[in-house]
Amino acid sequence: MMRSMFSGVSGLRAHQQRMDVIGNNVANVNTVGFKSSRVTFQEVFNQTLSGASAPDSATSRGGTNPMQVGLGTSVGSIDTLMSTGSSERTDNATDLSISGDGFFIVRGSSADTFKFTRAGNFGLDKLGNLVSGSGYCVYGWQKRNDDGTFDTESPVEPINLYSDIHNGNKRIIAARATTSATFSGNLDAARPALGAGATDVQFAVPFTVYDALGNSYELSVNFRKSTIDVDGTNWEYTITHDNGTATPDTYHTGTVKFNTEGRIISGITDTFTVDLDETTTGAADFPINLNFANLTMFAADSSVIPSDINGYSTGTLTTFSIGSDGIITGIYSNGEQQALGCVALANFSNPAGLQKVGDNLFIPTTNSGNFTKGLAAGTGGTGTLTPGTLEMSNVDLSSEFTNMIITQRGFQANSRIITTSDEMLQELVNLKR
């Protein structure tokens, strides 16, 4: 009689714990990156009233099964369900979700242990650190290899978009001196030949170049059709600098030659040097390689343009974007782009073995596998990143409400076991009357 009562008590206790887990799941239905849990029950113990016996062929006696009475139930496991939640579009540049396996790596300080999260609601603090909603620094790489790629084999470090020990100040991109200029387009074959050494300009192409300090200079390549011979047509050009006077500075002269089919045959490349007054500009002279390979000469309007000129002035960081590979690219006021860092991910042999520690964070356990190194998104079994989105909770409300009803009925049924056992005991006491 008492066994049934204690079995009912164990059922109440187990169903109450299951309701606690369901309540936590429902409470976190809108928590970013939340992973729901489930409860499974197991029987506690069975008291054997009589053991099993084997059949006896000699006496033609059959075998009997064991007779056991169970002593209730208990919680067998509380499992974390690591299925991926749906994505919510936010269009916030620092919001990230992982399409596949993996966890973001965060840490509160250098003295703290690494923690891991699926919640990618990140932002920037006033120092430029990429941080989680709780202020944990997001980890990745900022050190680069010789080829410009990030050194993903090095230890992870907190990502800062404004500066780091490897690249210095990233809010400003240093100027780069112009070293090459490519021109494309057509020179009008119908123009008259002016003779060698003529000074008239028939077509001028302005272009801008920069020295190593970012100072800009307005130059012009001035074309004129000079002579025609049996091999083709010669066009002379002059590189001049607009110095603000009526007579521009002349840096260089040269010649390009076209064949009878209007294709360039000589003078395809050339080099000239921009001469500077170092006492005024503070910058040194710099050479520029010219490329005229894409010029043609047909009877059509002249249309030569500077199709590709490198070099740029100093620029300041205006915005940034994060790619699916985790690389954070800064966009500067001069139109240039520069990689600022790369977000790292972690992967575990048994993600369900991670331990929740609050703030949407997990820590490794002896059954999850250890964190050994950061992984680039899309490598080592990790998924790629989807910028501008967040992973929503994986709680399924329909399942939770169904489980809630089942749990309520289970709790109710176990309470009836206790009240019924009590009534039976009451009848037993009443036998004395």
Residues 417-428 have a mean pLDDT of: 84
Q: What is the pLDDT of residue 111?
A: 87
Residues 13-21 have a mean pLDDT of: 95
328 pLDDT more than 70: yes
Q: pLDDT band for position 253 (50/70/90)?
A: very high
Six token digits for residue 300 = 């059509």
12 pLDDT more than 70: yes
Size of the chain, expressed as the number of residues it contains: 433
The model's pTM is 0.82
Q: pLDDT band for position 433 (50/70/90)?
A: low
Q: pLDDT band for position 113 (50/70/90)?
A: very high
- Structural domains of the chain sorted by starting position, each given as residue range(s) with its CATH number in brackets: 2-49+68-82+394-432 (no CATH), 87-172+316-391 (no CATH), 180-309 (2.60.98.20)
Q: Are 388 and 91 in contact (CB under 8 A)?
A: yes
1 pLDDT more than 70: no
Q: Is residue 66 exposed (0-12), middle (13-18) or buried (19+ Cβ within 10 Å)?
A: exposed
Q: What is the pLDDT of residue 56?
A: 85
pLDDT exceeding 70 applies to what percent of the chain? 99
Q: What is the pLDDT of residue 4?
A: 83
Q: Which residue has the tokens 């169903």?
A: 15
Look at residues 200, 209, 203 and name the one whose alpha carbon lies nearest to residue 182: 209
Q: Are 54 and 26 in contact (CB under 8 A)?
A: no
Assign 3-class secondary structure to the chain: CHHHHHHHHHHHHHHHHHHHHHHHHHHCCCCCCCCCEEEEEEECCEEEEECCECCECCCCECCECCEEEECCEEEEEEEECCCCCCEEECCCCCEEEEECCCEEEEECCCCCCCEEECCCECEECCCCEEECCCCCEEEEECCECCCCCECCCCCCEECECCEECCCEECCEECCECCCEEEEEEEEECCCCCCCCCCCCCCEEEEEEEECCCCCEEEEEEEEEEEEEECCEEEEEEEEEECCCCCCCEEEEEEEEEECCCCEEEECCEEEEEECCCHHHHCCCCEEEEEEEEEEEEECCCCCCEEEEECCECCEEEEEEEECCCCEEEEEECCCCEEEEEEEEEECCCCHHHCEEEECCEEECCCCCCCCCCCEECCCCCCCEEEECEEECCCCCHHHHHHHHHHHHHHHHHHHHHHHHHHHHHHHHHHHHC
Six token digits for residue 406 = 């089942």
Q: How many beta carbons lie within 10 A of that of residue 57, not counting itself? A: 7
In this structure, are strands 305-309 and 73-80 parallel, antiparallel, or unpaired?
Answer: unpaired
Cα separation, 347 vs 426, in Å, equals 60
Q: pLDDT band for position 238 (50/70/90)?
A: very high
Q: What is the pLDDT of residue 422?
A: 82
Q: pLDDT band for position 116 (50/70/90)?
A: very high
Residues 77-89 have a mean pLDDT of: 94
Q: pLDDT band for position 198 (50/70/90)?
A: confident
Q: What is the pLDDT of residue 393?
A: 96
Q: What is the pLDDT of residue 47?
A: 81
Establish how many alpha carbons lie within 13 A of residue 418's alpha carbon, considering only the half-sphere containing its beta carbon. Answer: 15
Residues 303-325 have a mean pLDDT of: 95
Residues 90-112 have a mean pLDDT of: 94
Cα separation, 49 vs 333, in Å, equals 85
Look at residues 220, 209, 212, 279 and name the one whose alpha carbon lies nearest to residue 253: 220
**pLDDT tens for each residue of 355-398:** 999 999 999 999 999 999 999 999 999 999 999 999 999 999 99
Mean pLDDT of the chain: 92
Q: What is the pLDDT of residue 183?
A: 97
Q: What is the pLDDT of residue 340?
A: 96
Q: Please enumerate in sequence order all residues whose Cβ is within 8 A of that of 46, keeping only pairs 6 or more positions apart, or say none.
A: 68, 69, 70, 71
324 pLDDT more than 90: yes
397-429 vs 2-27: helix crossing angle, rounded to 10:
160
Cα separation, 387 vs 391, in Å, equals 11
Q: What is the pLDDT of residue 246?
A: 65
**pLDDT tens for each residue of 138-172:** 999 999 999 989 999 999 999 999 999 999 999 99
Cα separation, 33 vs 25, in Å, equals 12
One-letter identity of residue 241: H
One-letter identity of residue 359: D
